[in-house]
Amino acid sequence: MIEAAPPVRRRRTSTFGKEMTAIERAIRGRTIQSFQISDNGRWSSIGLDGQRAISCEGLLRFVGDDGQFITVEDHNQKFGLPKPFDAEAAISHEVIGKVIDQAHICSKTGDLRLTIAGGVIELIASSSGYESFQVTGDKSGIIVGMGGKQEAEQD
């Protein structure tokens, strides 16, 4: 009698051939649907399809492929302009409708880097003791990103 082989469980892998981290599984391939910055620029939120979101309490910046960047700390600053700079509108213009191609956490700092067409979104850990970002949505729970050297799944 021939027995059937057990089903092969395929691991989802990142573009580098490594097993995907929880962050990658939660947000890679998701489309950015919204972007918000609080009035004081200390809190921001990225809304994703599938009822997922990334919230950041600290520095978030968009860095374009050309090296130009916009940070949430620029929001509502005058910079000698006739009216305050609207970083929320500027970042929204660059990121809404884009798909997150890669998500990478730096194990030394806890920074989260999201690669999209045209640039990257960087969530910079600004505290070694408090969470810098959270990924929430559906029934997968909450993923919390801490600052400082962490035991991470990838470098």
pLDDT at 92 over 80: yes
- What does pTM read for this prediction? 0.78
The model's pLDDT over 8-66, given as tens digits with 9 standing for 90+, comes to 343 444 444 556 677 788 899 999 999 999 877 778 999 999 889 999 888 899 999 99
Q: What token pair was written down for 137?
A: 């949505």
For the segment 84-109, the average pLDDT, to the nearest whole number, is 93
> pLDDT at position 21, please?
76
Contact at 8 Å (CB) between 99 and 142? no
In the prediction, which pLDDT does 137 show? 82
Give 7's pLDDT tier (boundaries 50, 70, 90).
very low
Q: Per residue in 100-146, pLDDT tens? A: 999 988 878 888 999 999 999 999 887 666 667 888 886 656 666 55
User: E strand or H helix at 36, and its extent?
Assistant: strand 32-37
Q: What are the structure tokens assigned to 145, written together? A: 């990103």
> Dihedral, CA atoms, 95, 19, 110, 85, nearest 10 degrees?
0
Distance CA 62, CA 72 (A): 9
Average pLDDT, the chain: 80
